[in-house]
Structure 1
Amino acid sequence: MALFDLPIDELRTYRSASVEPSDFDAFWAKTLQETREHDLDARFEPVDTGLRTVQVHDVTFAGFGGHPVKGWLTVPSSVDGPLPTVVEYIGYGGGRALPHTHLLWASAGFAHFVMDTRGQGSAWGGGETPDPVGSAPAFPGFMTRGVDDPETYYYRRLFTDGVRAVEAARSHPLTDASRTSAIGTSQGGGITIAVGGLVPDLAAVAPDVPFLCDFPRATRLTDRNPYREIGNYLQTHRGRTERVMRTLSYFDGVHFAARGRAPALFSAALEDQTCPPSTVFAAFNAWAHDDKKIEVYDFNDHEGGGPYQEAVKLRWLPARL
């Protein structure tokens, strides 16, 4: 696929037309307050994985609605104090998978907390966290579950789980709460941006080719899933466009980015049809912290920088944690 979005000079100044709801902050304050009425109940059970260079814990904590959410905590096998911590969120359709697939950050000396994704984990990287909340009829996938109202939308639950994952990670004695970062790719990058806007004291965030940004443009620019799920839903449910776009505005990464208080490292791929580069730059350009950088991969699709971006993060994160 050749370049299909704005030229790079225009991307660097592009601003989203997404309209922020007047009660955006009140909505999220209420959501988190209601969730925190449930005890976090973070539990860490040691797991014998056969790995010798790391310790692994099977994690369960209470997410949105007090629902149990799974995860892994992996730390170097020889640790003598609290470690800088990386909390990672997973891409669309994936789950926490198996512990030996998450060795990079512990190998670099970090505590690494991977959050499972409620209701997902059957397209790749198996998951173990159900989503006990149902919804009205939706298009296959997760993008339109409960989309008629912000209160019932799927990503209200998932973003809240993301905040609670940070709280769970920070509750373990081998993690340093003051040196906690959030990372993720695609959907995981979108969750990272949301958590970066909702948790005021993260040390750093690193969203790669993030999803869930600039819905007004994304839903009309690309016909690739998952964004296309929204178009397919509206193709059937005629006349609901305004209502659906209002719901999505409460979950748009652009509005969370405007509240970002941590140094940030983004990445974008200029041939990315899944998360078009203009939607990524919309969030990056809105990011409120002055210490921000974006890596651009000229001829890549949604794979983005892949291992090259991991190498960039391995140099960038230690300087901030």
Structure 2
Amino acid sequence: MPTFDWPLGELRRYQPELTHEPDFDLFWQDTLAAARECTDAPSATPIDAGVRAFATYDVTFPGWAGEPVKGWLVLPSGGSARWCVVEYQGYGVGRGRVHDHLLYAACGVAQFVVDARGHSRGDTGDRSAESSGPHEPGFMTQGAHDPRAHYMRRLITDAVRGLDAARSLVSASRFAVAGPSQGGGQALAVAALGDGVAAVLPDVPFLCDYRRGADVSDRVPYLEIAQFLRKRPELVDDTFRTLSYFDGMNFASRATAPSLFSVALMDPIVPPSTVFAAYNHYAGPKDIRVYPFNEHEGGGSLHAMQRLEFLRKLAEF
């Protein structure tokens, strides 16, 4: 895959206008206040996942509208940690298997893996019928007519409630939010909306600068937007207005915790310009690792250790 987006120097200068509507902050205040009306406590059930070195738990917590959301909790040896990383998942992925999530615990960091509702490898269903209406197959245009109905409202609410659950379950003193692709976009949202975030680790974050993504990428998920609007061109303005409530660059402009981004310059799924749109608007301390010849895998296992080193420099494990 050749480089298809702008040169790196231009990417570092790219700062499109923010797209948030005047009621953006009130929209999210009301959304999260309603979600927190459900005061059910999260449950953590010890499980035998064949992993002997760490304590592993199957977690259920109340997400959007109190609906049950699943997660894995993996604690390092001794059961306590200074850091807990709350990790969100990529598009279509879900929480997977416990043994997919052992690196943080092996390095002395607790990890809470939040499931993604309705995604193919997840365990959490999407029960809401609010997003019914015309949309392209997939999640990007479910509820495109109204931000209150859009799927991403529920997914991001789940993400914030996942941080709430982690803070009630894990006796760590610092909480980071992280994730690849869609999970990186969720991490940016939680950094702006959640309580007590001490670090943000978005890898090749999706859900940023939707208009640019739909204009440039010929791959799903951004392609879903273009395919939908090709069939319904009269809905272009309404659709992008709706998506603005879930745009990572709007959240980034409100996030202040130290952050480490990653971007891959040959990524056809999440164009580098969309990542820099969020990074260049990020309001807090920030750094970015650029992988010139990588695609959507980003920095892979090398960057995984970069994340851990970043946390270590903020506060020793």
Above 0.5 in TM-score? yes
Q: TM-score, normalised on structure 2?
A: 0.96
SS at match of 1:59: strand
Deviations 1:38-78 (A, max 9, x none): 11420000001221110101000000110000000000232
Task: Return the match for 1:218 from 195, 213, 216.
Answer: 213
Find the aligned partners of 1:101 and 1:4 in 2 and give their Cα distance.
32
Runs of 4+ in 1 over 4 A off after TM superposition: none
Task: Return the match for 1:155 from 152, 155, 171.
Answer: 152
Find the aligned partners of 2:305 and 2:222 in 1 and give their Cα distance.
29
Q: Does the CA contact (< 8 Å) of 1:17 and 1:216 recur in 2?
A: no
Deviations 1:249-269 (A, max 9, x none): 111101000011100000001
Task: Return the match for 1:175 from 148, 171, 178.
Answer: 171
Find the aligned partners of 1:192 and 1:40 in 2 and give their Cα distance.
23
1:99 counterpart residue number: 98
Q: Does the CA contact (< 8 Å) of 1:201 and 1:261 recur in 2?
A: no
Q: How far did residue 200 of structure 1 move?
A: 4.6
1:294 counterpart residue number: 288
Q: TM-score, normalised on structure 1?
A: 0.95
Deviations 1:12-43 (A, max 9, x none): 11112342211110000000001011114200
Deviations 1:281-321 (A, max 9, x none): 010010001x2100000011111111111121121112224
Find the aligned partners of 2:14 and 2:2 in 1 and give their Cα distance.
20
Find the aligned partners of 2:226 and 2:40 in 1 and give their Cα distance.
37
1:128 counterpart residue number: 123
Q: Does the CA contact (< 8 Å) of 1:270 and 1:297 recur in 2?
A: yes
Q: Does the CA contact (< 8 Å) of 2:81 and 2:108 recur in 1?
A: no
2:275 is aligned with 1:274: no
1:316 counterpart residue number: 310
2:7 counterpart residue number: 7
Find the aligned partners of 2:92 and 2:113 in 1 and give their Cα distance.
15
Percent identity of paired positions between Structure 1 and Structure 2: 49
Give structure 2 stretches of 5+ with no counterpart. Answer: none
Find the aligned partners of 1:82 and 1:74 in 2 and give their Cα distance.
11
Q: Does the CA contact (< 8 Å) of 2:183 and 2:205 recur in 1?
A: yes
Find the aligned partners of 1:223 and 1:163 in 2 and give their Cα distance.
30
Deviations 1:57-111 (A, max 9, x none): 10000001100000000002323x4531000000000111111111011111111
- Pairs aligned (count): 313
2:53 counterpart residue number: 53
